[in-house]
Amino acid sequence: GNSVTQMEGPVTLSEEAFLTINCTYTATGYPSLFWYVQYPGEGLQLLLKATKADDKGSNKGFEATYRKETTSFHLEKGSVQVSDSAVYFCALRFMGEQAGTALIFGKGTTLSVSS
């Protein structure tokens, strides 16, 4: 079946540190890949996405590259801020003909950044 695996949290970093959150997926086909962020008490916000192999999604200093050969979509940021503290979810979805299917999420990784 289709699934997403994220690194276990929590991840605790100091401000301006480098961030990597690992995400790998298993899929029958070629899904689109997403990173969502959830701030305390809020719903999910799309952070970035990539729709095909070798695409790089980027937003707000975060980046992730769709790697088909390693079935990975690791999230990175060069210098984290306290305001980046949140839960990050990796997800996949099939578009097009299979669009009736849904987002499949990982379990989430909690990031805590201290000043």
Partner 1 sequence: ETGVTQSPTHLIKTRGQQVTLRCSSQSGHNTVSWYQQALGQGPQFIFQYYREEENGRGNFPPRFSGLQFPNYSSELNVNALELDDSALYLCASSLGQGSGYTFGSGTRLTVV
Chain positions contacting partner 1, by CB under 8 A: 4, 36, 41-46, 49, 89, 91, 95-96, 99-108
* Shortest Å, Cβ 75 to partner 1: 15
Which residues lie below 8 Å from residue 62, measured CB to CB, with a gap of 6+? Answer: 35, 47, 48, 75, 76, 77
Looking at beta carbons only, is 14 or 56 nearer to partner 1? 56
Neighbours of 20 (CB within 10 A): 11
Six-digit token pair at 1? Answer: 């079946």
* Shortest Å, Cβ 102 to partner 1: 4
* Shortest Å, Cβ 47 to partner 1: 12
